[in-house]
Structure 1
């Protein structure tokens, strides 16, 4: 093995450390960028395979601790994203996550989905009351919802309750959207009620060709 060049003084040590640190940072940045580009493609492919297999969980990569369980559409703000199982920080790094404590996307009850305010759920800042959302489940079943409540919850004073006696869709992200700090106590909560009236559904399908 070739020997390393002799270090003559502390300036050489410092220079060598700075070079090694720079190489590490360049490598890390390239790895992060590659993951950011490739992961969504693998998740989309896993979702397509889940639909083909009718409700079989398909991991986007072999060591993943999550998999797509649905797809969320909010056409007015440009959201069309697979929803992943779980709502841990590791999951939310790759996309919106469904809370296992709530109802699955293709079943009745309250479905709760979380996402990061500065990436996947940033468009929620522009959503308004009465806008229509669509949630697709692993069986291919579609559920339509209309936004009926938008509010900010201070988790120091109030916990976000998941009541499966309720029926609807809840989208949750941190607030404010332009905050410089992370993990603050405020949450932006969008609640949408199910559309079950046939007349209302017909009007929605004319206005929102999903």
Structure 2
């Protein structure tokens, strides 16, 4: 796990934002929003990572590192061991069904999710919605694509500990173009 974070910290420290204006111009000319890479640092438990916006629901929630009960009372929790929002692979976010993720059942395939992290916006498009058992760990496995997975308890109206989980999987809508630094 340390190697994973060390690698991404190295990548973040060695990245350049020299082509940001060019990427934004290209995205605007293609009538799309620009997405840019995040500079990665190792977050501390409870540290705010950014925010999750759900345009269809007109809601924005803070994202915190970790998934303890204390964190889930403040906002959305990032599941440790999964990619940080904006990184390659599977970034998994959890929230309570009776607070922040109360209306997730109103979303459909094709809806957008926006993650803001380090003043960079990542737009994801919902590809799959499913219901799994509460002990199904396949939802947190690494993915070959930039994926954002939202998890909450299900059914939404269940009283007490819910027996299932409601899963939304979304893929990065527009991957940023990175060009090598010219010398």
TM-score bracket for the superposition, by shorter chain length:
0.5 to 0.7
Tell me if the contact between 1:57 and 1:69 (Cα under 8 Å) persists in the aligned partners. Answer: no
Answer yes or no: is the 8 Å Cα contact 2:88–2:145 preserved in 1.
Answer: no
Q: Distance in 1 between matches of 2:89 and 2:164?
A: 25
CA RMSD across the alignment: 2.4
- Give the secondary structure class of the aligned counterpart of 1:90: helix
Aligned match for 1:71, one of 25, 42, 51: 51
Aligned mates of 1:161, 1:197 — CA distance in 2: 22
Does the CA-based 8 Å contact 2:86-2:146 persist in structure 1? Answer: no
Asked which structure has the greater CA Rg, the reply is 1
Q: Tell me, yes or no, if structure 1 residue 87 matches structure 2 residue 67.
A: yes
Match of 2:28 in 1: none
Counterpart for residue 134 of structure 1: 114
Counterpart of 2:168 in structure 1 is: 190
Which secondary structure state, in structure 1, belongs to the residue aligned with residue 56 of structure 2? helix
Q: TM-score, normalised by structure 2?
A: 0.67
Structure 2: gaps (5+ residues): 1-38, 177-183
Q: Please identify runs of 4+ aligned residues in structure 1 that moved more than 6 A.
A: 54-59
In the alignment, structure 1 segments of 5+ residues that lack a partner are 1-53, 60-64, 199-210
- Corresponding position of 2:132: 153
**Cα distance, 1:93–1:165 mapped onto 2, change above 3 Å:** same
Distance 1:197 1:84 in 2: 24
Q: Is the 8 A contact 1:57 1:67 kept in 2?
A: no
Distance 1:131 1:186 in 2: 23
Hey, what does 1:23 align to over in structure 2? Answer: none
Aligned residue number for residue 107 of structure 1: 87
What is the TM-score with the length of structure 1 in the denominator? 0.59
CA 98–130 in structure 1, closer or farther in 2 if over 3 Å, else same:
same
Task: Name the structure where helix makes up a greater proportion of residues.
Answer: 1
Within 1, Cα distance between the matches of 2:134 and 2:99? Answer: 21
Q: How many residues align?
A: 137
CA contact (8 A) 1:134 1:142 kept: yes
